[in-house]
Structure 1
Amino acid sequence: MTLPPVLCAAGEADVMSVTVGRSGNQQYDFSVTLKHDDTGWEHYADRWEVVDTEGHILATRTLLHPHVNEQPFTRSLRSVAIPAGIVRVNLRAHDRVHHYGGTEISVDLPD
């Protein structure tokens, strides 16, 4: 599939930073900063995900609109239940054109 140049120019969505804190028994609060050159409704970062080390999605923070004039931007997701035994997770971003492929960050869950 060939993409129009204006859609390709935005590139993939990158996770720039992550803050994670424990909010309860096996529950965590995540604050994630993304960078993506959103161009509008056709090409924008539309979600970020908490994923275990085997690639299973544990939680998703959906982004409902483009952030053309707000880059980078930070959004949070609270009280994410993480199964017992998982001590490290990956954070990855998704955009409407490239899907995955940008910078991911791995974090250890606090005790």
Structure 2
Amino acid sequence: MRHVLFLTALALPITPLPGLADAPVILGATAVQSGATHTISVTLRHGDTGWAHYADGWSVQLPDGTELGYRTLHHPHVEEQPFTRSLGGVNIPEGTKRLVLVPHDSVHGWGDPFEITLGN
């Protein structure tokens, strides 16, 4: 019996349990201009466990925190990790050199910001 309990205890940190996923992490992002607006594409990773805990969006912000757009993620991506989603029609003020992208999940709230530098 001790061996079974020991093996179970070892498996706990490895096996994802509902509600124990970390905050979402942005792995990469691009901003592509099309006319007067940009399309922002974000690749993120999150241990989605289902509807109770999943990455539910990300924000596009100026470095001062002004939000330029928000991409809602409408469902969990349990079997699709990492994944990339885009937000079009983002108006970026002239002269902006950097954007800050901030992921969000349904349990932890905001994750760590990810900064991108815009091309000339």
Instruction: Using structure 2 for the length normalisation, give the TM-score.
Output: 0.80
Identity of matched residues, %: 46
Q: Is the 8 A contact 2:32 2:40 kept in 1?
A: yes
The counterpart of 1:31, out of the listed 38, 41, 51, is: 41
More helix by percentage: 2
| Structure with max Cα Rg | 2
| Runs of 5+ consecutive residues of structure 2 not aligned to the other structure | 1-16
Q: Provide TM-score, normalisation by structure 1.
A: 0.86
Distance in structure 2 (CA, Å) of the matches to 1:67 and 1:84: 35
Q: What is aligned with 2:88?
A: 78
Give aligned pairs, total. Answer: 104
Question: Which runs of structure 1 show a deviation greater than 6 angstroms over 4 or more consecutive aligned residues?
Answer: none
Supply the RMSD in Å over aligned alpha carbons.
1.4
Structure 1 gaps, min length 5 = none
**Residues 12, 101 of structure 1: 8 Å contact kept:** yes
